[in-house]
Amino acid sequence: MKAAIQQWNKKYDNLTKLQQFYFSLGFVLLVVAGLISLMNHQLGLLLLQFAQYCGGIFVVNFLVWLLFNALVVEKIPQEKAKKSTTKKAKK
């Protein structure tokens, strides 16, 4: 089990791990909400609402991370590359 977790940790980046967590939490809450709603309808609806929040967080987190990568991260390596070429030219 420890080896599988270490391999998962090396294989995926932070966004993927976070997204998998939100998706798993939302799915588990959805299943638990369905089972609990068989016994207590109000509590099942409350858990379903938490599952919906997890789904919303999943989508918003993905969009923010996508915009961040597109607008900020993409520009950083280009600026570093320009600085390194100018330093080499000055030497």
Would residue 38 count as lying in a domain? yes
Would residue 71 count as lying in a domain? yes
Would residue 5 count as lying in a domain? no
Would residue 32 count as lying in a domain? yes
Please give the Cα distance from 23 to 1 (Å, whole number).
Answer: 21
What letter represents residue 55's amino acid?
G
User: Coil, helix or strand for 11?
Assistant: helix
Assess contact for 8 and 20: CB atoms under 8 A: no
Would residue 9 count as lying in a domain? no
Domain count, the chain: 1
Please give the Cα distance from 64 to 49 (Å, whole number).
Answer: 22
pLDDT digits (tens, 9 = 90+) for 35-91: 998 999 999 899 889 888 888 888 898 898 888 888 877 666 555 555 655 555 555
Question: In the predicted model, what is the mean pLDDT of the chain?
Answer: 81
> Domain span at residue 73?
14-90
Would residue 82 count as lying in a domain? yes
Would residue 7 count as lying in a domain? no
Record the tokens describing residue 33, joined without a space: 């909400």
C-alpha distances (whole Å) from 55 to each of 30, 71, 91 are 10, 24, 53
pLDDT digits (tens, 9 = 90+) for 28-44: 888 988 899 899 999 98
Would residue 51 count as lying in a domain? yes
